[in-house]
Amino acid sequence: MTGVSVVDVDASNVSEHGFFCVRKPKYEGHGLKLNWLKKRFSEGLGIKLLHSATGGAMGFIEYIPGEFAWRPVDAEGYMFIHCMYLGRKNDRERGYGSLLVRECVKEARKRKMYGVVVAASDGPWLADKRLFLKNGFDIADEAGRFELLVKPLRRGPLPKFRNWESRLSGQKGWRLFYANQCPWKIKSVNDLLETAGERGLELKVTELGSAREAQDAPSGYGVFSLIHDGRLLADHYISKTRFRNILKEELG
């Protein structure tokens, strides 16, 4: 891994180094994510960028103490990985993903936490569990298509998913919950609002403003939930086309 370094991103240098997943400041989600980050650094959030001396930023990992996780989990005392990504496919086969995971584990060990936790899924927007299993993680809990994996560092209560399905029954009409933890969500929010307007539907949109609200969100991903009369229709970013297809299925 010659020529590759890890850069710690915090409140003092995030404007300089960015956060990798959105690199164009003109994109609406960039500013929203930047503002979100600046509020989270004081809660212990960390970002580590993988940086090549010749090619610039290659990938990143974002993590935060479990009590401030923006996912429907109970993971107090653990470090929780929100997301991680490597931009080039061949970099994923060179051990860089494991390097980022080890950096997060090192940080959790330094803070004397119980361990490191991540939510994984074979579906969109979450990490593949295979990377974590080969780095010493075990499955601690399951809910729907989601699996909660933990790498223990010392004895403590096991993390678990919150009962997000119980939050669905009280949601009437068309509801959309989202958070700026992921900068790509705002485009979907705008697209869905526009499409709903074309169909004369009232889509009530709620921005989640705190970790507690995200932990109480009515979906396993937490930061995006499209609901119709108590049924979860999408728990990740969707396009206009996908929403139109959902409307056809729901309304005929």
User: How high is the pLDDT of residue 126?
Assistant: 63
H-assigned helices in 11-169: 14-17, 28-40, 96-110, 129-133
Q: Give the tokens for residue 32.
A: 């929203």
Would you kindly state where each structural domain of the chain is located, as residue ranges? 4-161, 164-251
The matching CATH number, chosen from 3.40.630.30, 3.40.190.10, 3.30.428.10, 1.10.101.10, for 4-161 is: 3.40.630.30
Structure confidence at residue 123 (pLDDT): 65
Q: Are 219 and 171 in contact (CB under 8 A)?
A: no
Beta-carbon contacts of residue 155 (< 8 Å; ≥ 6 apart): 114
DSSP class of 74:
E
The CA distances from residue 107 to 66, 89, 101, 140, 176, in Å, are 13, 26, 10, 21, 35
- Report the pLDDT value the prediction gives residue 228, as an integer from 0 to 100: 97
Name the phi and psi angles at 3, rounded to 5: 85, 5
pLDDT at position 229:
96
The CATH classification number of 164-251 equals 3.40.30.10
Q: What percent of the chain has pLDDT over 90?
A: 77
Indicate if the pLDDT at residue 2 is higher than 70.
no
Question: Each residue of 165-183: b (16+ CB within 10 Å) or e?
Answer: eebbeebeebbbbbbbbbb
pLDDT in tens, 8-47: 999 999 988 889 888 888 899 999 999 999 999 999 999 9
0.85 surpassed by pTM: yes
Closest CA to 83 of 104, 62, 58, 69: 62
Residue tagged 């060179």 (tokens): 94
Q: What is the pLDDT of residues 121-166, one digit of tens each?
A: 876 556 778 999 999 999 999 998 899 999 999 999 999 999 999 9
